[in-house]
Amino acid sequence: MSVEKFSVSFEGGLAAMVRKAAAEEKLSVSSWLAEAAEAKARQRHLRHALDAFAAEHGALRDAEIEELVRSARASSRMTGPPRNRPRKSARGKRSRKVA
């Protein structure tokens, strides 16, 4: 797997929040940002899939949406507070560095 380096700029307050969140999860800032970007990409993919479904089958009813949300939360890796253990970085290695 190849790794590509990015340079990003944040307003000071956001930069501090990102560093704090990464430190609390015992991740490097790079790993934390990679996880955040992956979650955003999955969210975007899901939105496109739901839009395509709605175009073909009609919009979901509120009860159907609530059931899907309940089901997703029950099977999610992200249920509950962050665990204080190293997570896999974007490269598949355990990351313990905190930037």
Closest CA to 4 of 90, 93, 63: 90
- Domain ranges in the chain are 12-75
pTM of the complete model beyond 0.85? no
pLDDT in tens, 42-57: 999 988 998 998 999 9
Q: How would you class 19 by CB atoms within 10 Å of its CB: exposed for 0-12, middle for 13-18, buried for 19 or more?
A: middle
Residues 6+ apart with CB under 8 A from 78: none
Arithmetic mean of pLDDT, 63-91: 69
The amino acid at 90:
A
